[in-house]
Amino acid sequence: MHEYPQAASSSMGTGKIARFREQLAEQRWDDHRFYHHNLVNQSLHFVSATTFIVAYAIMWKMPALAALLGWGVAMTSRQAGHFFFEPRGYDHVNDCTHEYKEEVKVGYNLARKVVLMGLWLLSPVMLYIRPDLFGAFEPHQGVMQFLEHLGLLWLALGIGGLLFRVVHLFFIRDIETGLVWGTKIVTDPFNDFRLYSKAPAQLVRRLAETRAARIG
């Protein structure tokens, strides 16, 4: 009699884990099928994923440098793929409009990304105008210290942007959706590395074929 509640609890826990994994897989699949049609975008995501993995590896010893890599290379290449290469017309593959995809996107859609990237661009300007950043830093001495402070500021922006959307999802969706999305974002570099590792070679082949066809 005393073992039944424990077994039920274990079963319930397993069910929650299974549901969490299912939602994670669903969010990843929706992100891929809705926002990663273009081969250039996929290739840039592979560059982004590789850079993020390097940033993760050095995060604990060199957090400022990790953030500079994360924002300066990984995020810029990632978002450039979305803003400049991904088609925004009617999605015939998934039979839906771009507006529909933007409305149902769990995380940062393009409109929210504009705000986030705007804050990223304003960060060095703010740090230049206020070197102490309202008491957060000792005023920088030289370019290297400016970059160190900028990296730490970008690190705070990245963590803050992640936590803000997770908590926001708690209220507009539910806690599980927020936690699943947060997990997806943190693990995206590893998933994207696996998913888009062949994209650069495919892109080179396609460009070569297109060039050969034009010459021929």
Stretch 34-46: mean pLDDT, rounded?
Answer: 95
Q: Which of 100, 46, 73, 81 is nearest to 154 (CA)?
A: 73
- Give the burial string for 31-42 (b: 16+ CB within 10 Å, else e): bbebbbebbbbb
- Model confidence at 52, pLDDT cuts 50, 70, 90, reads very high
Alpha-helical (H) ranges within the chain are 3-35, 39-58, 63-69, 76-80, 98-104, 110-129, 143-172, 175-195, 199-215
Torsion region of 135: left, alpha or beta (phi above 0 gives left; psi -120 to 50 gives alpha): left
pLDDT tens digits for range 61-109: 999 999 999 999 999 999 999 999 998 889 999 999 999 999 989 999 9
Residue 8: pLDDT band (50, 70, 90) is very low
pLDDT of residue 167: 97
What is the distance between the alpha carbons of residues 106 and 185, in angstroms, rounded to a whole number? 11
Distance CA 137, CA 135 (A): 6
- Identify the band that residue 216 occupies on the pLDDT scale cut at 50, 70 and 90: low
What confidence tens digit (pLDDT) does each residue in 163-215 have?
999 999 999 999 999 999 999 999 999 999 999 999 999 999 999 988 888 88
Contact 107, 181 (CB under 8 A): yes
pLDDT (0 to 100) of residue 15 = 86
pTM of the model as a whole? 0.88
